Structure 1
């Protein structure tokens, strides 16, 4: 597990209640999550207290103990506890297990607190497990009334009027798994065996009628069907006798009911294989640090008296990622540049350069200055013999000018050969030759063997030489400008490519979301049509039975 330096041998509290009675994120858990740099598969379990939620989480963690199990009527788990373990079947992923405080604790008596615990578990998870006892009937569905209040406690968009959100809940809510504990019925319908999934779908069928009672009964059913398209059900028999249940943590697999053990293994394998990595809007895959930030954003919204909003969470997460990316890029840029031996070629410096233009320009200035210093050092060494000859008046003689020009040309070629990779070589050389222009005129003036015409020719030649050197400098300047333009164009092309890639991914995401919404609606339409068909069939069958009874009764009459 690419987690923090320590391995989690036991769960820690992720979300607790502070001294003021407000929810808060615990620093220890936040630090652990920030150390996880790989995608996280987050599985949360919710349900009424004393229903065995913690046992399921321990099974998923591959441990017999960890999350606290209680054997009394008191709720054992408080807040939301977290256990991060390496994913058993998905390499490069971390399985984050969240065990929540039991809902409906009579000692707590705070239904609002229960609602927020349920909402936080839902928002943070990629798979939500709801644990209950007995059977799935009207009473069980009524106890799951939190799902009917989700629109009041969770917003998709920043503003309530930013369009219809109903279809978007399907895309952002986790997969739903209902685990029924101590199940004692036979999985049969009309004397035919059915699966646990079919049992759940049957329990969620809408009741027909327009009475207020029927509408209330259908409210939880409709909410579960609308919010959670992907649903799964597992039914567990009682794991052991009442006496042994008091020491569940101590029981070995041999002491557990075989059917319970088989269902537990099936449940774990389903979670391992089917639970997806946690994502948020725009299809962004969440890593450990992101999960910690999401928890803080949602908890802070609750503490402030507002409602958790997925749009705000995405914006906050984006700001955190952008700030972190800029800081990391700047640090990498500075580090890479510090390890570079200046001066360097422009292309090498350009390869180091990423996106921080201000820092890039500062290093360019530094690079030019370093190149200038190297060129000056080479120039002073190469032209030292010329300077010595000038000081010794070696060229103050007949033919001295020609000798001076020849030496100057040779030394210039030598300087260029030694500064081929330096961007400031022509500028430094131009400044030096400009300084030597007066020296050349003095030497030329003292050359008695030269005719006046020859002096003019040599003066013109010297002037052309200076002009040529200036032209070289302009060419070098243009090259530097062209290099800068190329860098700008490359950055622009890269930005356009990234924008196009983002647009393409957004189109794919929208298409996938539309497809999922369409499939959900088609499934719902098919389910409704099937219910109507069954209802009409039942009505026709009753009418047929009535007619048959009527006909049978008429056969007993005697006509006189």
Structure 2
């Protein structure tokens, strides 16, 4: 994208996805790293986004007290550090805009930034004091605006422990403090920006309302976000020059500001991970487009977005698209073979196996959470039906070519029969000589396809009446000689019948072998996918558990034993939430897929039936 575009429009407090922006995301097949910036209006959020994009201009900065950004704007650029990844920058409408005066609308924008991003940048000015933390009031409302599980699927224990699971799905948190003029010192010792942030987020002891109100936003930040980072920025230039910040050369900005900005960009590029959804699935631009639509449409209906429902709905869309793409790839891979029909069974089978493998891999690249193999089975069925149709077309092409060839080769013989050429003593011998040459020429003609022997068998049977009449009319031959010739002809026909049956047997065995290999390949791919998804879920869980255990340890060090005990409950709830994913066993998930894939083999039986009906 050359410049940003509005992703989510905000008109009179109503949020709507912008179709052109969604279409742009849908065309991005790469995985995305999504960085959102939130904060009070007129705090310089857009400047940071432009720096991440590597541009001076782009997101509107503005130089007045009015907020420039409305809704959520998006800028997609190539990731500067990760090849084949897209960096998606989301600049959000300023929170607390006095002209808007709608805190509920602000809360939804904040929630969307959390839901869509892999790194969330909170931008503020001055210092991280109590007021700055309280301005992050929206973080305390996240449990009211985001659900992990649908109500129908969540037990009462899971609903109570939902806070513990947020850390699995929430983005990294970066606090950018702008126009910082103080020294980074606490208790007369120098500290880092990160230590400054953690000090500002420390909880107070006590249970009275004032202490609880003080602790609530801090506890939410500590509990929900897996990693926290802080950058403190000096004022970039003199107050009178701030109005032209967008046009100023970097060399005109103060060195400390430039150094912090470079460190901020480096951190975001290096540490921001690919956006994932529940279950650890990496998100592509196309999937991000689905997420935006689903989340915003859910909010517009007055409902609370549910991570589980959205992921399942998105999986349905993506998996069906994966089926269609896989089948389309299979068909395109088989297309070059169609123009060469008829081909022999080896060529047909080899091309089918290559196309089937490529189509299956294409499906696997896009699909996810196809636990019962429903969509993989759809692909297998589609491929099997397409292959069966191609086999029939190849059959028909082979039969036509063989019939045309025999008609052409036998035309001179037929003409001689009409001319009475063989109606003389020794005529049968002449006929047999021409007939044998015809058959030999037919056999030596290449690329007849898989019906060569069957068509020849029918031809020989059809010509047996013609042959017998010439034999019986040949006065040169004795009765015993005629009987010998009749027996030789009968043996030749029987041998041809066997050749035709052998041709059919080889074809059937090869189609069955194709089916077996296809089933094995798909089962193997599904096993690999399920193992990968289980591994992703386990890594997601372990990362969240590590964060919780570290938080519990910090609370104990600070003397917050009661809060540490509450954290223990969260840890236990988090462990419980991991059990359903691991229960049931790997093979209990894989075997239903194997069973459904085995049924695909019935299609080849149907193919044989269809071909038999066509023959009749």
Equivalent in the alignment of 1:548: none
What is the 5 A alignment of 1:500-515?
A: 500-515=527-542
User: What CA distance in whole angstroms lies between the structure 2 residues aligned with 1:21 and 1:221?
Assistant: 28
Q: 1:22 aligns with which of 9, 14, 17?
A: 14
Deviation at 1:303, TM superposition (A): 1.2
2:317 paired residue among 298, 313, 320? 320
SS of 1:246's equivalent in the other structure is: helix
Asked whether 1:494 is paired with 2:521, we answer yes
**Bigger CA radius of gyration:** 1
Q: How does 1:157-556 map to 2 (within 5 A)?
A: 157-159=149-151, 161-162=153-154, 164=158, 165-339=162-336, 340-350=339-349, 351-352=351-352, 353-354=355-356, 355=380, 356-419=383-446, 421-532=448-559
Equivalent-residue separation in structure 1 for 2:245 and 2:274 (angstroms):
31
Q: Within the alignment, does 1:107 sit opposite 2:99 as a pair?
A: yes
- Specify the SS of the correspondent of 2:279: helix
Post-superposition offset of 1:257: 2.8
Q: 1:400 to 1:158 in 2, by over 3 A?
A: farther
Q: 1:214 Cα shift?
A: 1.8
Please point out which of 29, 33, 43 is paired with 2:35. 43
507-516 or 220-229, larger mean C-alpha shift: 507-516
Shift of residue 500, structure 1, vs aligned partner: 1.0
C-alpha RMSD of matched pairs (Å): 2.4
Q: Give the CA deviation at 1:131.
A: 0.8
Query: 1:233-271: CA deviations, max 9, x gaps?
Result: 011122233333333223333432322222112111111
Distance across 2 between alignment mates of 1:523 and 1:155 = 25
1:476-530 deviations in Å (ceiling 9; x for gaps): 1111111210121121011111111112202321331232123112212221221
**Residue 421 of structure 1: CA displacement?**
4.7
Q: Is the 8 A contact 1:177 1:233 kept in 2?
A: yes
Q: Does 1:52 align with 2:51?
A: no
Specify whether residues 143 and 533 from structure 1 end up closer, same or farther in structure 2 by C-alpha distance, changes over 3 A only.
closer
Contact between 1:277 and 1:286, CA under 8 Å: does it hold in 2? yes
> Tell me, what secondary structure is at the counterpart of 2:516?
helix
Alpha-carbon offset, residue 231 of structure 1: 0.9
2: distance between equivalents of 1:398 and 1:283? 88
Cα 1:113–1:347 change in 2 (3 A) is farther
Whole-angstrom distance in 1 between the partners of 2:88 and 2:33: 6
Distance 1:15 1:42 in 2: 15
For residue 228 of structure 1, report the CA deviation from its aligned partner.
0.8
CA apart distance, 1:432: 0.9
Separation in 2, partners of 1:501, 1:168: 26
SS at match of 2:34: strand
Name the CA distance, whole Å, in 1 between partners of 2:497 and 2:87.
Answer: 68
1:274-324 superposed Cα distances (whole Å, 9 cap, x missing partner): 212222233333222222222111111111221222223323333333333
Deviations 1:429-459, CA, capped at 9 Å, x for gaps: 1111111111122122223344434433333
Deviation, 1:169, is 2.0
- Distance (Å, rounded) in 2 between the aligned partners of 1:381 and 1:70: 84
**SS of the residue 2:83 aligns to:** coil
**Structure 1 residues 4-50: Cα deviation after superposition (integer angstroms, max 9, x where no partner):** xxx41x221111024x7421111232233233332222111001112
Matches of 2:56 and 2:462 in 1, distance apart? 88
Match of 1:556 in 2: none
SS in structure 2 of the partner of residue 282 of structure 1: coil
Counterpart secondary structure, 2:223: helix
Determine the C-alpha separation between the residues in 1 that align with 2:309 and 2:438. 68
Report which stretch shifted further, 126-135 or 277-286: 277-286
TM-score by length of 1: 0.88
Alpha-carbon distance in 2 for matches of 1:348, 1:291: 42
Q: Tell me which residue corresponds to 1:538.
A: none
In 2, Cα distance between the equivalents of 1:138 and 1:152?
23
Give ranges in structure 2 of 5+ residues lacking alignment: 357-379, 563-616
TM norm structure 2? 0.80
Alpha carbons 1:375, 1:419 under 8 Å: kept: no
Whether the aligned pair in 2 keeps the contact of 1:130 and 1:177 (CA below 8 Å) is yes
Shift of residue 55, structure 1, vs aligned partner: 1.4
C-alpha distance after superposition, 1:120-176 (max 9, x if no partner): 111111110001122223322222121122122112233364353444322221111
- TM-fit CA distance, 1:397: 3.6
Cα distance in 2 for partners of 1:56, 1:249 equals 11
Residue 77 (str. 1) matches residue 69 (str. 2): yes
Provide structure 1 residue ranges, at least 5 long, that are not aligned to the other structure: 1-6, 536-560
Q: Secondary structure at 2:559's aligned position in 1?
A: helix
Aligned twin of 1:558: none
Q: Would you tell me which structure has more helix in proportion to its own residues?
A: 2
- 1:533 & 1:332 partners in 2: Cα distance? 60
